[in-house]
Structure 1
Amino acid sequence: MTHLITAGQLAHEIEDVVVLDVRWALTTANTPAGRKDYDAGHVPGAFFVDLDTELASPAGDGGRHPLPDPAVVQTVLRRAGITEHSRVVVLDGKESYAAARAWWVLRWVGINDVRVLDGGYAAWLAAGLPVSTEEPADRHGDVEVRPGQLPTLDAAGAAALARDGLLLDARAPERYAGETEPIDPVAGHVPGAVNSPTAAWVTGDGTFRRDLAEHWATVTGGVDPGDGTVGVYCGSGVTAAHEMLALAELGVDTVLYPGSWSEWIRDAARPVATGHSPG
């Protein structure tokens, strides 16, 4: 079973699915850039979803993008007309970082049939498919969300998995190593975590690489991680979901540390490692 859908497949199924547009970028998180992009053109019938306010709670002790209020998610899904039987496709601009967060959150609240448009809106445009500037009206869905349908890690659980299992850090190598930290006030990584940059899982056109299994072998050093669950974190729980999506394509079970690095460092008692080895 794949969690991805191509632009051509989406065009063929467009009348039978609910499309959610989650265009967003970390560097523009505090501006309406994603909404502006949507207004300028989107997949016909797609509903815009704001990652910062509708797929996350306000920043605080839980990190920069804590898990969203389920009531807020329910309002969003009902606006898009989603019911318990809906098939949903989520997309962002290109690399599916934000779309993967939506994919994870929707499954966390009990929406089972969710796929991600591989290559995002860029792939839709590249395929020469039609676009719209019209925002669909409220469709008044009746879905009842059930948060907690996917497991999560807290800081203690992440530390234990880094020590006794496999915890992946999805950030760029220089952030993992503590060489630079452009966003959070402390640089470094969770001791024992293995760096696996999420950007390495996609190609130049934003689609997932076709040799996922071979790349996974390089991440693990060719060592089978066994039957244990793999934990994933990033800066704030967004791009980690992208890596989880890639691993889901391989049938690898993963669990998200939602607070990620931005939550880990809020307790000065938690250890911090630097350098390019797990520490």
Structure 2
Amino acid sequence: MERELSGKPSAGAGRHPLPAARDFAAAAQRWGINPDSEVVIYDGTRALAAARAWWLLRHAGLSKVRVLNGGLDAWTRAGYSLDIEEVKARPGSVELGWDKLPVIDIDEAEGFPGVLLDARAFERYTGASEPIDPRAGHIPGALSSPTTENLGADGRFLDPEALEVRFAQLGVHATEGGAGAVGAYCGSGVTAAHQILALVTIGISASLFPGSWSQYSSDPTRTPATGQTP
């Protein structure tokens, strides 16, 4: 996450800015990815890190990318074994691009014309708690949509029907959703990728605000909203 799935943090770009396209392309080749590779990503953090890697690879133009639903816990619960040996990949030859998925900047997030979803915990959205970033609250107009509500107790994504109901309650509908209609942010642009992955499973495209709250709250010219309403 810190070395290959993010760029250098700063107040102006956020805690986990997107990596440079050239750096990410080099990392993908180190991982052994080839032009015809199908990539499956998993983690042990309820798909939060895996969703970031999924989003980046899709943003870079790789189409055959999946996230293992339920992650490492689901793998072990299913009775599959684990290897303790280090795996060294043979360098791959994939040539990646960039800008294949929609993103919005801080100004576009603040004036977003559609539904802007805040993927952080509800207490951070309201401003009741802010353990990481300079100021508490949320981007004016954003709706609270904690990423944890995309998952069941087993750490797997809710089935599509349940996700459709969840997002419809926020005004996001599969028949209407598009990158210009839905945006997502979180603390530093990582959890928001998880939100976008959940939306993709029901056919909705959403724009990512990479700098997210860590960038917005660091800008003294911005005025956060607090409380339970947008």
Task: Give the TM-score, by structure 1 length.
Answer: 0.77
The answer to whether the Cα contact below 8 Å between 2:59 and 2:99 also exists between their aligned partners in 1 is yes
The answer to whether the Cα contact below 8 Å between 1:119 and 1:206 also exists between their aligned partners in 2 is yes
SS at match of 1:232: strand
Match of 2:7 among 31, 36, 57: 57
Task: State the identity %.
Answer: 47
Equivalent-residue separation in structure 2 for 1:99 and 1:193 (angstroms)? 25
Equivalent-residue separation in structure 2 for 1:213 and 1:166 (angstroms)? 15
Equivalent-residue separation in structure 2 for 1:129 and 1:188 (angstroms)? 43
Match of 2:22 among 71, 95, 99: 71
Equivalent-residue separation in structure 2 for 1:275 and 1:140 (angstroms)? 50
Once the 2 structures are TM-superposed, how far is the Cα of residue 219 of structure 1 from its aligned partner? 2.5
Q: Give the structure 2 partner of residue 202 of structure 1.
A: 151
Does 2:179 align with 1:230? Answer: no
- 1:1-279 to 2 correspondence within 5 Å? 51-60=1-10, 61-161=12-112, 164-210=113-159, 211-220=162-171, 228-278=180-230
Which structure carries more helix by proportion?
Answer: 1
For residues 111 and 201 of structure 1, do their structure 2 counterparts lie closer, same or farther at Cα, with a shift above 3 Å needed? same
Deviations 1:98-137 (A, max 9, x none): 1100100111111111000000000000011121011222
The answer to whether the Cα contact below 8 Å between 2:127 and 2:227 also exists between their aligned partners in 1 is yes
Indicate the RMSD between aligned Cα atoms, in angstroms: 1.7
The answer to whether the Cα contact below 8 Å between 2:177 and 2:205 also exists between their aligned partners in 1 is no
Deviations 1:236-257 (A, max 9, x none): 0000010100000111110100
Deviations 1:18-66 (A, max 9, x none): xxxxxxxxxxxxxxxxxxxxxxxxxxxxxxxxx1110001211200000
The answer to whether the Cα contact below 8 Å between 1:189 and 1:274 also exists between their aligned partners in 2 is yes
For residues 148 and 226 of structure 1, do their structure 2 counterparts lie closer, same or farther at Cα, with a shift above 3 Å needed? closer
Task: Give the TM-score, by structure 2 length.
Answer: 0.93
Equivalent-residue separation in structure 2 for 1:219 and 1:226 (angstroms)? 12
